[in-house]
Amino acid sequence: MKKIFKNPWMYLAVVLILFLAFYGYKNLAESKAPGQYDEFAKYLTEQGVKMYGAEWCSHCKNQKKLFGNSFQYVNYVDCDKNSKECKEAGISGYPTWKVNGQNYSGEQSLERLAQLSGYTGNLTVSSGNLK
């Protein structure tokens, strides 16, 4: 039988390629999966609501986790990458939500965001998500 991989590094390369392919597919599938709050997140964006934050901010990470996969529909501004926009919006801390021209600093519960934005749809919030 003829040896397909004569070099042992070829085995490593094949395993690495398969791992990266699986990991990439898994992440892509997770990011496109429907979230529990898709309708609400889309509504916020349609209303012009924005969340200002930074990738290193632990409170911003908590806020993103609250939305789960639905966060992909939230209008999010990374202030490390868009400092001019954040400065013009009067952002002094993270996260800050801008709703109807008013800034709200700190983590906001989904119920609070619904109240501020006038959302009247069905918003089921588990007790673990209340703040």
Output the tens digit of pLDDT for each of the chain's 131 residues: 556 656 667 677 677 787 777 666 555 555 567 889 999 999 999 999 999 999 999 999 999 999 999 999 999 999 999 999 999 999 999 999 999 999 999 999 999 999 999 999 987 644 344 33
**CA–CA gap between residue 88 and residue 16 (Å, rounded):** 45
Map out the domains of the chain as residue ranges.
Answer: 1-32, 38-129
Largest Cα–Cα separation, the chain: 73
Q: Strand, helix or coil at 77? A: strand
CATH of 38-129, one of 3.90.1310.10, 3.10.105.10, 3.40.50.1980, 3.40.30.10: 3.40.30.10
